[in-house]
Homo-oligomer: A and B are copies of this chain.
Amino acid sequence: MNPSAAVLIIGNEVLSGRTADANLNHIARRLNDVGITLKEARVVKDVPESIVEAVNTLRKAYTYVFTTGGIGPTHDDITIPTIAKAFGVAVERNLQVEEKLKTNTGGNYTAATLRMADYPAGSRVIWHGEGFAPGCIMENVIIMAGQPHVMQVMLEAALPLLSQGTPMHTLQVDVWARESIIAEGLEAIQSRFADVEIGSYPYRHNGKAGTALVCRGESLPVVEKAFKEIKKLLEDLGAQTRAA
């Protein structure tokens, strides 16, 4: 069975609508690639109690928790001390990271800059080659930045350090038919394939109603078998598939 995961997005800006989160979809795709199954995501405010509760719930429920946001140098960056609190540990300065920050800034740093060298005691710094502070792994919690280009570097540096599983195989067909026409046959197929997740997603394209049908599973032959039955169903219904 694949390792499981949750994403915890920490940031008032996502809940106020100021920022449209771009990290969840990226993390979801990358976890899918490496066979870690994303089961849940949460977005919480920059409020210590909310973060502590979410971290402690999710880290007990899933193999991994990936957090984004709140690890910069300003007053609203409370992720590190708050996750330390969730684990009941202190915050410690990492001297190697501190040195790197001093070098990176060409000596033009403040006390606030150096706060980015603070980590929960017992955590492991996730080194990467870029010119910004690294994220870290605290037990099963991977702590990353909120800025997408920074988060992506941290994620790539973290993934090789984690247990990975079987990448999910996905097959998709788009059809010019309403979901309701396909529903009955599709349900019958789903009932025969417990290990395949069959999804049905309506869309509109140039004012015309269509449905995307998606099969996902760990075993490619099984996914292919379910997919073949879906194609047969669409043929039997005389439904026209979109693109070849």
Contacts and interface: CB of A to CB of B under 8 A. Distances in A.
A30 to B, nearest CB: 8
B29 A17 contact: yes
Contact of A76 (B29, B73, B198): B198
Contact residues of A: prevailing secondary structure: mixed
A90 interface: no
Interface in A26-43: 26-32, 38-43
A89 interface: no
A203 interface: yes
Contacts of A181: 110, 112
B39 A15 contact: yes
B180 A113 contact: yes
A161 interface: no
A197 interface: yes
Contacts of A187: 74-75
Contacts of A38: 15-17
B12 A20 contact: no
A122 interface: no
B41 A43 contact: yes
